[in-house]
Amino acid sequence: MHLLPCSRPLPRCLPWRVLSLALTTGLAVPLPAAEPAASPTPAKAYAGVPFHDTVYHAGPQVIPGTLQNEYYDTMDISDAEKAAGAEEGITYHDTDNKNSGSGSLNGLGSYKKEFRRFESPDISYIKLHNPGTPVDDTPFNLVPPDPEGLYLGWIAPGEWVRYTVNVLADRVYTINTMYTSKFGGHIAFDCDGSDVSGPLAIPTTFNAADPIEWRQAHHWNKIFGLGQLHLKKGVHVLTLHFLDQPVMNFDYMEFVPVK
């Protein structure tokens, strides 16, 4: 795949792991490096391809538009190779070689329960009307979630996922996102290996009034205007980095041109 440049690479500064430490300790540091240590620059021989299966096969996700977080890039290899971690370090970086949601916590028997179950990034879906204990439809939501929407979750600091995107216009974009976050934290984007966002702050959705501790990961919110990034027209590989806090879920991100 031939990748067009997204933006001028930034000067080398601090690695992401140092930035993450600074963000949690309050230490003032310069902007992060153009090449995150945990995410090597995608080369022309990048083996990832846009996610596709029997249900979704629309090619690269389009910007401006909605990026579904569960549709991170895949590789055209067998399920056995995926289960063995062949995509690790190419289309994603995950801290363990298991999917904590699909096929595990969620069990088997439906498309949503088994979605991408052979891959390590953890996937689940919005659960409404759960018998006994409400999960994603509680009064602790700030915004009602999409019924049965798939999402990327169980996020740990240092993890990342990649998306092949088709940018239709050379513009500055802002991001709206549907998410949960127990502790708050920061995310960032690079494009074809060059930083395009710097750290973006994610507000916490913690609510002490919820008596069930595990449900702190299920308080949904939508935030608007999450920073700005300049993307050039063409097909690019965006890498979404999770910098410094665990227990986040992301359903989707809307890329909106800045007027």
Residue 6 domain flag: no
Total number of domains constituting the chain:
1
Report the pLDDT averaged over residues 100-105.
Answer: 96
Q: What does the pLDDT look like over 19-55, one tens digit per residue?
A: 333 433 343 333 343 334 344 555 468 999 999 999 9
Quickly state the pLDDT bin for 141 (edges 50, 70, 90).
very high
The domain of 132 spans 16-35+48-257
Question: Do residues 119 and 99 touch, judged by C-beta distance below 8 A?
Answer: yes
pLDDT computed for residue 259 by the predictor: 85
Tokens of 156: 């740990």
Q: Where are the beta strands (DSSP E) in the chain?
A: 61-63, 65-68, 92-93, 122-125, 150-153, 160-167, 171-181, 185-191, 194-195, 200-202, 221-223, 228-231, 234-242, 248-257
pLDDT computed for residue 156 by the predictor: 97
Question: Do residues 148 and 125 touch, judged by C-beta distance below 8 A?
Answer: yes
pLDDT computed for residue 6 by the predictor: 63
**Share of residues in the chain with pLDDT > 70 (%):** 83
Residue type, 55: V
pLDDT computed for residue 34 by the predictor: 35
H helical segments located in 69-148: 79-83, 111-114
Quickly state the pLDDT bin for 83 (edges 50, 70, 90).
very high
Our CA dihedral for 17, 21, 27, 32, rounded to 10 degrees, sits at 20
- From the centroid of its chain, how far is CA 249? 8
Report the pLDDT averaged over residues 103-117.
Answer: 97
CA gap 51, 76 in Å, rounded: 9
pLDDT computed for residue 230 by the predictor: 97
Q: The domain spanning residue 82 has which CATH number?
A: 2.60.120.260
Going from the C-alpha of 12 to that of each of 32, 38, 42, 162, the distances in angstroms are: 8, 15, 17, 22
Exposure of 34 in the CB half-sphere (CA atoms within 13 A)? 11
- Phi, psi (rounded to 5 degrees) for 83: -65, -30
Residue 226 domain flag: yes
Res 57 pLDDT > 60: yes
Vertex 227: Cα angle to 161 and 72 (nearest 5): 15
Res 195 pLDDT > 70: yes
Quickly state the pLDDT bin for 193 (edges 50, 70, 90).
very high
Tokens of 259: 């007027």
- Out of 18-22, 80-84, 116-120, 238-242, which region has the weakest mean confidence (pLDDT)? 18-22
* Helix, strand, coil fractions of the chain, as percent rounded to 5: 10, 30, 60
Residue 92 domain flag: yes
Question: Do residues 136 and 215 touch, judged by C-beta distance below 8 A?
Answer: no
The Cβ of residue 153 has, within 10 Å, a number of other Cβ atoms equal to 23
Residue 40 domain flag: no
CA gap 192, 196 in Å, rounded: 10
**Share of residues in the chain with pLDDT > 90 (%):** 82
Res 119 pLDDT > 90: yes
Report the pLDDT averaged over residues 3-8.
Answer: 50
